[in-house]
Amino acid sequence: MERIDELNYEGLKIIQNTDGFCFGIDSVLLTEFARDIKKQSKIADLGTGTGILGILLSKKVNAKKIIGVEIQEDVADMAKRSIKLNSLENVFEIIQGDLNKIKLENNTFDAVVTNPPYKKLGTGIKNKEEKQKISRYETSASLEDWIKISSKLLKDNGSFYIVYRTDRLTELFENLKKYKLEVKKMRFVYSNINKQSNLVLIKAVKGAGVFLKVDKPLIIYNLDGSYTDEILDIYRKK
């Protein structure tokens, strides 16, 4: 069933389907992490889903143009309708199709953002719903595909932002290095202070020199299950 959710930022809203895959806090955290994208940038949002990254970034970084790529036709349609709902047609465009087959001009994007599927096929709990399987598992593109395509799209010194599973960090670093994306900033995300990190936020720059900054840990929940002050601040920001 479809619903319209308030994003509590600049009056933005998003259309989602509760029978499919709704966005999580990881997408919101990535848009905060990517706030250093320069104003009036051209941004690619790969695996855009219902458009949460592009919708928020359109206002958070005052983007000039955002191109979202989404393989699922009905999900892409929801994203298009959310764009119209927010009057972002002049800023945010959706291209529906396979990431490996979409033709976008290489070396033309200032930034790429992505919250790709975290799981390899054949691992973890299987999702009964095909939409959830596509959103969570590498069914059409591998992690290497995601990074290779991102590197091609970026200008020299363009920035790549990703939220990903910490337990695949070694694989992520190997592929970033392979495609000339040098990690410049990272931040580990923890459910609470007693848990191991399950997510990591990464910024890499195409063709940059070797220098890495690790930000302080980001903790989502207090031990009583309530959001930490930092998470509340993120949701309160206007």
User: 21 falls in which pLDDT band (50, 70, 90)?
Assistant: confident
pLDDT (average), residues 205-220: 95
Give the model's pLDDT for residue 235.
Answer: 82
Checking if the pLDDT of 120 tops 90, the result is: no
Residue 210 — very low, low, confident or very high, per pLDDT cuts 50/70/90? confident
Report pLDDT digits (tens) over 176-195. Answer: 999 999 999 999 999 999 99
Q: Which residue has the higher pLDDT, 131 or 24?
A: 24
Tell me the CB-side half-sphere exposure of residue 14, using CA atoms within 13 A: 23
Average pLDDT over residues 217-232: 96
More confident residue, 120 or 96: 96
| CA–CA distance, 54 with 68 (Å, rounded to integer) | 7
Using 50, 70 and 90 to split pLDDT, how confident is the model at 133? very low
Confidence band for 139, pLDDT divided at 50, 70 and 90: low
Separation CA 136–CA 125 (nearest Å): 10
Using 50, 70 and 90 to split pLDDT, how confident is the model at 124?
very low
Instruction: Write out the E strands in the chain.
Output: 2-6, 13-17, 42-46, 65-70, 92-96, 109-114, 154-165, 181-190, 197-206, 213-214, 218-219
Q: Which two tokens stand for residue 178?
A: 């392979």
Q: What is the pLDDT of residues 146-169, one digit of tens each?
A: 999 999 999 999 999 999 999 999
Confidence of residue 38 (pLDDT cuts 50, 70, 90): very high
Calpha distance 185→82 (Å, rounded):
31
Cβ neighbours of residue 93 closer than 8 Å, sequence gap 6 or more: 65, 66, 67, 68, 83
Q: Give Cα separations from 84 to 21, 57, 87, 194 (angstroms).
A: 21, 16, 5, 42
* Cβ atoms 73, 47 nearer than 8 A: no
What are the domain boundaries of the chain? 2-236
Beta-strand pair 218-219/109-114: unpaired
How far is Cα of residue 199 from the mean position of the Cα atoms in its chain?
A: 12
Which CATH number is 2-236's, of 1.10.30.50, 3.40.710.10, 2.102.10.10, 3.40.50.150? Answer: 3.40.50.150
Matching residue, tokens 């919101």: 28
| Size of the chain, expressed as the number of residues it contains | 238
Task: Report pTM.
Answer: 0.91
Q: Which of 13-22, 33-42, 58-67, 168-177 has the lowest mean pLDDT?
A: 13-22
**In this predicted structure, what is the pLDDT of residue 119?**
59
- Which amino acid would we find at residue 186? M
Lowest mean pLDDT among 11-25, 70-84, 148-162, 206-220: 11-25
